[in-house]
Amino acid sequence: MKKIAHDIFSLVKKEGGTAARFIFHDTSDLEVSVRDGGIEKKDSGRRVSFTITVWIGERVAGVSGNDISLSSLRVLVKQACDIARMSEPDPYTILAPRSMWPLDGDSIFKQLNLCDNSFVPTMNDLMKCALEIDAENNTRSGISTSGASVYYRKGTAFMITTEGFELSSAATSFSAFANCVAKQGEDMSSGDFGDGARHFSDLLSFEKIGKTAGDLSLQLIGAKPIPTGSMPIVLSRMSSDSLLGHFASAITGENVFKKRSFLKESLSKRIFSSGVTIIDDPLIPRLLGSGVVDSECTARQKIMFVKDGVLTRFATNRESAAKLGCSSTGHANGFGNLYMENGKVSPEELMADIKRGVYVVDFIGHGPNIVTGDYSRGVRGFLIENGKITRPIQGVTVAGNLSDMFMNLSVANDLDIGRYNAPTIRIDGMTIAGEQP
């Protein structure tokens, strides 16, 4: 691969390029789906892809493809240089200087331990796993159809620049899902559950995955609307990390300087209730979100974005950092493992004093408006009465504004980083729309 990279770099030079970056991915996938105890689909594929970014002074262009023959590379490199030449000068798309590179990328990557070499599954192995998951629900009474899928991926990546940066990495991932439809008379409901991990041994048990999906579908059957009103909501761990996602997109530097975030003026201000801490740590071993550098060669690091409710930084790449007057936090490719620290009470204690509220299993529909913070989403879940979950609900939306929601949230102590990156969360004062009051 190094040889190919050097061929590319000399082609770039010949075409008048002044700097270049080459990123190469080689990925193999295996996937098996089963339904009602029989095999539904077996899928395998190997794919390579590469991206070449070329600078001519301050002009930049990118090309990508999957044919690494020299003749194809020649065509694409020429195309990249032609496009760059025709484009406008862009002083912001630049790679990190050597001082921001990780000190020893290869050894840090090794410590992250993202590649499971102890188990390299065959199609038959995955088939057994999927059948095992489905066996939980296949003959379970009340369930009309059930399915399961299991995926395995092994990928290697290689990044090299004309400035001398070089890193190669290999990682594996396993994921397993179960889905069921429960039926009772005319009523139907679905239940889904899954888990993913870098190492096979870190996956939840197949019994647990299958059973959780089956339980959900059975518990959600017979859901009915509730009257419109204002009440607290409790986000289960299956839905609470969606708030982290909205937070992440609102503090992403690009959205901030392009005026597309409701948090654009909130740096150093209190945006969450006191006690709330949010951290991004891309250097936790064995997790799906872990990694050493971003695509601009900036070393990734553990960063506390919210400390005791106060927003301490925006998440930036080279460009947004330059525009916001700070230095890149290594977020050119997004967040690593963004999580919210535990609160002090158990999930049961968190909802104990709720007379009437909504317990959210998951949300449906698109996300909120990050520009204004306006929030309104459909909910699948349960009614809470006197601190206890009583019955399934449907046809219900919860609405508010993310600014208020962040300030009014309280947090339980059931964080499980890598699987559930936010604990159970309670938010008071939400508007619930259902039936006419």
Partner 1 sequence: MMKENEVTGRFLERFHTNESDLVSLVGEILLNADDGELYAERVESENIVLDDRRIEEPNFSIFQGFGLRRVEGLCTGYVSSDIFSTEEIRQKGLDLSGSLSGKSHHPIMNKVQGIPMYAQRTALTKDLAERIELLREIESYIRGKDDRVQNVSVGLMGQNKEVFLIRPDGLLRSEIRPLIRMSISVVVDDVGSQSFGGRYDYASLFDPKVWKEYADSALRSALLCSEAKPCPAGKMDVILSNGWSGVLLHEAFGHMLEGDFIAKGSSDFVGKKGQRIASEGVTVIDQGNIPDRRGSATFDDEGTPTQKTILVENGILVRYMHDRLSARILGEQSTGNGRRQDYMHAPIPRMTNTYMEAGSHSPKDIIAATENGIYVEELGGGQVDITTGQFDFTVKLAWRIKNGILVEPVKGAEIIGSGQKALLSVDMVGNDLSLDSGTGTCGKEGQSVPVGIGQPTIRIQKGGLTVGGTEI
Residues 289-348 interacting with partner 1 (rule: CB under 8 A):
323
Rounded least distance, CB 401 to partner 1, Å: 7
Angle subtended at Cα 174 by Cα 134 and Cα 37, rounded to the nearest 5 degrees: 15
Structure-block tokens of residue 104: 């020893």
Structure tokens given for 206: 């197949």
Q: Among residues 82 and 341, whose Cβ is nearest to partner 1?
A: 82
Q: Does 257 engage in binding with partner 1 (CB under 8 A)? A: yes
Query: Does 399 interact with partner 1 (rule: CB under 8 A)?
Result: yes
CB of 123 to partner 1, least distance (A): 6
Q: CB nearer to partner 1: give 326 or 371.
A: 371
In angstroms, the CA 350 to CA 412 distance is 6
Residue 77: its H or E element:
helix 70-86
Inter-residue contact 286 to 114 (CB < 8 Å): yes
- Shortest distance in whole angstroms from residue 392 CB to partner 1: 11
Binding mask 89-118 for partner 1 (x = CB under 8 A): -x-xx-------------------------
Q: Considering the complex, what minimum distance in angstroms separates the CB of residue 349 from partner 1?
A: 29
Residue 127 vs 283, nearer CB to partner 1: 127
Q: Using CB under 8 A, pick the residue from 10, 87, 107, 205 that binds partner 1.
A: 87
Question: Is 358 a residue that touches partner 1 (CB under 8 A)?
Answer: no
Site for partner 1 in 133-152 (CB under 8 A): 144-145, 147
- Helix residue ranges, H only, 49-160: 70-86, 105-112, 123-138
Contacts (CB under 8 A) with partner 1, residues 149-178:
none
Q: Should residue 41 be labelled a site residue for partner 1 when binding is judged by CB under 8 A?
A: yes
Give the whole-angstrom CA distance, residue 263 versus residue 268: 11
- Separation between Cα atoms, residue 333 and residue 282, nearest integer Å: 12
The nearer residue to partner 1, 343 or 434, going by C-beta atoms, is 434
DSSP designation for 112: H
Q: Does 431 bind partner 1 (CB under 8 A)?
A: yes
21, 59, 143, 328 from 96: Cα distances, Å: 12, 17, 54, 9
Taking CB under 8 A as the rule, does residue 391 contact partner 1?
no
With respect to partner 1, which residue has the nearer C-beta, 87 or 201?
A: 87
Exactly one of 107, 139, 230, 390 binds partner 1 (CB under 8 A); that residue is: 230
How many amino acids of this chain bind partner 1 (CB under 8 A)? Answer: 79
Residue of 168, 333, 342, 401 interacting with partner 1 (CB under 8 A) = 401
Closest alpha carbon to 338 in 382, 304, 386, 307: 304
Site string for partner 1, 57-86 (x = CB under 8 A): ---xxxxxxxx----x---x--xx-xxx-x
State the minimum distance, in angstroms, from the CB of residue 237 to partner 1. Answer: 20
Residue among 403, 244, 251, 243 nearest 326 (CA): 251
Position 434 contacts partner 1 (CB under 8 A): yes
155-170 as b/e: b if 16+ CB within 10 A: bbebbbbbeebbbebe
| Choices 187-195, 202-210, 348-356, 412-420; region in contact with partner 1 by CB under 8 A | 187-195
The Cα 250–Cα 258 span in angstroms is: 11
* Amino acid, single-letter form, for residue 48: V
Task: Take residue 174 and report the two structure tokens written for it.
Answer: 């396993």
- Taking CB under 8 A as the criterion, the residue among 6, 48, 120, 301 binding partner 1 is 48
Write down the least CB distance from residue 294 to partner 1, Å.
15
Please tell me whether residue 35 binds partner 1 under the rule CB under 8 A: yes
Q: Let me know: does 210 contact 178? Beta carbons within 8 Å.
A: yes
Residue 296 bridge partners (DSSP): none
Which of residues 2, 10, 38, 139 is near partner 1 by CB under 8 A? 38
Helix (H, G, I), strand (E, B) or coil at 102: coil
In angstroms, the first-to-last Cα distance of the chain is: 66
